[in-house]
Amino acid sequence: EMQLVESGGGLVQPGGSLRLSCAASGFTFSTYSMNWVRQAPGKGLEWVSYISGSSRTIYYADSVKGRFTISRDNAKNSLYLQMNSLRAEDTAVYCCARETNDGGHFDYWGQGTLVTVSS
Amino acid sequence: SYVLTQPPSVSVAPGKTARITCGGNNIGGKSVHWYQQKPGQAPVLVIYYDGDRPSGIPERFSGSNSGNTATLTISRVEAGDEADYFCQVWDSSSAAYVFGAGTKVTVL
């Protein structure tokens, strides 16, 4: 059974850092591009970052560029998001999402991990 | 950056048809994907590449895309269709995925 399980969320002060993880199972992780998508409380979906299977191609939303870093470890079937210089507006549930092999959309999502940025 | 515009809410009686629009500049030239999200749950892909359905998604869900508007149509609406629906595209000019703000479908 395919699973994506996020962890690492929590309460952090503005300006602080946090590292999120996404553990994948049930599919050949290295052959899929992965994404992070976030959802602020009561708000819509916001795409955060993309990484190709080989890590060769990476994209970021303008709102996190220069502050967040996406990475993956295919040997550990894991996806990561290093978040620095956190702001109140980064408060959200962060989900990892698998991109289909033909690209452009997301066929499996994790349940997410909540990040709260507050003093 | 590319903007997708959705109506905040759509109300529909059971058994009727719900149409959810997603507006964008020449969106007909892009591939549009739709997700259903119920409270407390992860989004579920219901339509991809404008009008294709993943396995397990009822035929009542269909999609179209032309000009400046893409549309998700839910026929013979059921109570279980009550959810938020988001459209999504890839914007190659900004190398970014873009989501619409979402439409809350209420079944009367």
Give chain B's length: 108
Per-window interface: A 23-52 vs B, CB < 8 A: 35, 37, 44-47, 50
Query: How does pLDDT run across B64-80, given as a tens digit for each residue?
Result: 999 999 999 999 999 99
Q: Are B12 and B75 in contact (CB under 8 A)?
A: no
Confidence of residue A69 (pLDDT cuts 50, 70, 90): very high
Cα distance between residue B96 and residue B108, in whole Å: 36
Is the pLDDT at A102 greater than 90? The verdict is no
**Stretch B71-95: mean pLDDT, rounded?**
97
**Stretch B37-58: mean pLDDT, rounded?**
96
Determine the 3-state secondary structure of B60 from DSSP.
coil
**Stretch A2-25: mean pLDDT, rounded?**
98
Share of residues in chain A with pLDDT > 90 (%): 97
Cα B39 from chain centre? 16
Query: How does pLDDT run across A36-63, given as a tens digit for each residue?
Result: 999 999 999 999 999 999 999 999 999 9
**Stretch A92-97: mean pLDDT, rounded?**
98
Cα distance between residue A21 and residue A72, in whole Å: 9
Strands A10-12 and A113-117: parallel
Average pLDDT, chain A: 97
B99·A95 Cβ contact <8 A:
no
Q: Is residue A116 within a helix (H) or strand (E), and if so which, with residue range? A: strand A113-117
Q: Are B18 and B73 in contact (CB under 8 A)?
A: yes
CB atoms within 10 A of CB B9: 12
| Closest residue on chain A to B42 (Cα) | A111
Determine the 3-state secondary structure of B61 from DSSP.
strand
